[in-house]
Amino acid sequence: MSNTPLLSTATLDRLPANVECPNYDRAALRTGIVHFGVGAFHRSHQALAIDRLMNAGEAFDWAITGV
């Protein structure tokens, strides 16, 4: 078993400086999209676009909830 901490909200501040992290309050987001299945295609396209909008200060009512 590895001693590497799991990726979570509590461990974001431990990531290297060159890793992009959300600069918005994730706890203040409102679900606007329910996505069935959160596979690689979804994460690399839709979720990335929404994250970029949120980092730009927009789309906070379009958070994605995966089921």
Distance, CA of 47 to CA of 63 (rounded, Å): 9
Residue 9's pLDDT is what? Answer: 86
* Rounded-to-integer distance, Cα 51 and Cα 59, Å: 9
Question: Could you read off the pLDDT of 1-36 as tens digits, one per residue?
Answer: 567 668 888 898 899 999 989 999 999 999 999 988
Q: State residue 35's pLDDT score.
A: 86
What are the residue ranges of helices labelled H in the chain? Answer: 40-42, 48-55
Rounded to the nearest 5 percent, the helix, strand and coil shares of the chain are 35, 15, 50
pTM of the model: 0.76
pLDDT digits (tens, 9 = 90+) for 40-57: 887 888 889 999 999 999
Rg (CA), the chain: 13
Query: For the chain, which residues make up each domain, given as ranges?
Result: 28-67
pLDDT on residue 62: 95
